[in-house]
A = this chain, B = another copy of it.
Amino acid sequence: MKKLYIAGPEVFLPNAREQMDRKAALVRHHGFEPLCPGDLDIPAQKTKKAFGQAISRVNEGMMNDADGVIANLTPFRGEWADVGTVFELGYMCALNKLVSAYSNVADDHYQRLLRYYGNVITTDAAGYKRGPDGLSLEDFEMADNLMLDGGVERRRGIVAVHGAPKEELYTDLTAFEACLKHLAANRHLADQGLRPDELDASNDD
Copies in the complex: 2
Contact A52 B14 (CB under 8 A): no
Q: How near does chain B come to A21, taking the closest CB pair, in angstroms?
A: 17
Give the secondary structure class of A's interface. helix
- Chain B residues contacting A61 (CB-CB under 8 Å) are 199, 202, 204-205
Q: Can you list, as one digit per residue, whether each of A44-59 has a CB less than 8 Å from chain B (1) or not (0)? A: 0001110111111101
Range of interface residues on A (Cβ < 8 Å): 35 or more
- Chain B residues contacting A134 (CB-CB under 8 Å) are 13-14
Contact A83 B80 (CB under 8 A): yes
Q: Can you list, as one digit per residue, whether each of A165-205 has a CB less than 8 Å from chain B (1) or not (0)? A: 00000000000000000000000000000001011001011
Binding site for B on A (CB under 8 A): 9, 12-14, 16, 47-49, 51-57, 59-61, 63-64, 77-84, 86-95, 116, 124, 130, 134-136, 138-142, 144-151, 153-154, 196, 198-199, 202, 204-205
